[in-house]
Amino acid sequence: MNLIDIILVVNLCYRCHNKEIEDILKNSAHRNLDCISCHEGFEKFPHPKKKVRCKICHGEVAKFFERSVHYDKLGCSDCHGKHRITVFEIYTKKLSISDICAGCHTEEGNNYKNSIHYLALKKGANDAPSCVDCHSEHHVLSSETEGSPVYYKNVPKTCAQCHENKAITDKYGISPRRLSSYLSSYHGIFLEKGIPYVANCISCHTPHFILPAEDKRSSIHPDNLPKTCSKCHPKADFSVTKGKIHIEVKPQSAPHVFAVRVFYIIFISILVSGFVIHIIFDFIKFIKNRRSHE
């Protein structure tokens, strides 16, 4: 029997270390692991100065984490806890994620916890996003990095995962087709062409304090809309509330724009058929004349 087996059998670690850790560990996702699975080489005393290396098992995830902004500043245990690594349970996990992030990102955390996304999650709407749904879990990047889901060019795509998803918009009765109606606007076209100063979703809806237009505190409540728009359009006042922002060319959404389209389609059809008929008549006569001359 070698030293490692002895440690495993009689569990020498708890001779010195707090026995509480054993209980915590036994209730964690790592319940089937021993101390030295993570604390490599600690069977020797004095223990080597060696950090726990999660990536021995969690290699895939670690690769993402190593490319994230958090890599220099944080370790795995800062978010996941040391011994208390919980079993993956979506509901509790999703709701508590923001608590973990808010540990450092206080302001963002507060804003998020007042937003409709958090409130919906609290009410059991499990599709509502927590921090990681927009910022990704391990591959968290600055909003100034091109590959980030919150980079200005990617924001609409990120929000569209739910807000352009018919299954979700139908399920919760929220406004559908927010991406397509954005992309057909000047804002959307300019963003697609890589103009950074143009408004994307969060420019108007705010990044974290997202609330429906009915909420008085919302940046898109009619009372607040002039202020929101005037960040870029200094002259904007309450005239911007008279009409929709996400225009869809449909009778219910924008009847006036829809009417223009219908009118023009009919008008163009009549005009074009009139022209074509006239041109064809002229040509038939022209050919007939030529034949009779010959």
Q: How far is the CB of 267 from another protein (least distance, A)?
A: 7
> Which range of residues in 39-47, 68-76, 115-123, 186-194 is near another protein by CB under 8 A?
186-194
- Pattern of binders to another protein over 25-64, x per CB under 8 A? ----------------------------------------
> Which range of residues in 6-14, 109-117, 208-216, 283-291 is near another protein by CB under 8 A?
283-291
- How many residues lie near another protein (CB under 8 A)? 41
- 195 is a contact residue toward another protein (CB under 8 A): yes
Within positions 217 to 246, which residues make up the interface with another protein, using CB under 8 A?
A: 229, 233-237, 239-245
Of 6 and 280, CB closest to another protein: 280
Q: How far is the CB of 189 from another protein (least distance, A)?
A: 6
Of 102 and 240, CB closest to another protein: 240
Long-range contacts of 197-205 (CB under 8 A, 24+ apart): 197/232, 199/232, 200/152, 200/153, 200/155, 200/156, 201/155, 201/156, 201/159, 202/150, 202/155, 203/231, 203/232, 204/228, 204/229, 204/245
- 282 is a contact residue toward another protein (CB under 8 A): yes
- 264 is a contact residue toward another protein (CB under 8 A): yes
Q: How far is the CB of 116 from another protein (least distance, A)?
A: 24
Q: How far is the CB of 215 from another protein (least distance, A)?
A: 20
Using only C-alpha atoms, what is the Rg of the chain?
Answer: 31
Q: How far is the CB of 227 from another protein (least distance, A)?
A: 13
> Which range of residues in 93-101, 107-115, 169-177, 279-287 is near another protein by CB under 8 A?
279-287
- Give the C-alpha separation, 195 to 127, whole Å: 31
Of 118 and 182, CB closest to another protein: 182
> Binding another protein by CB under 8 A: which of 14, 91, 172, 286?
286
Positive or negative, the Cα torsion across 204, 206, 207, 213? negative
> Binding another protein by CB under 8 A: which of 44, 194, 214, 252?
194
- 268 is a contact residue toward another protein (CB under 8 A): yes
- Give the C-alpha separation, 24 to 290, whole Å: 101
Instruction: Name the site residues for another protein (rule: CB under 8 A).
Output: 189-190, 192-195, 229, 233-237, 239-245, 247, 254, 256-257, 260-261, 264, 267-268, 271-272, 275-276, 278-279, 281-286, 288
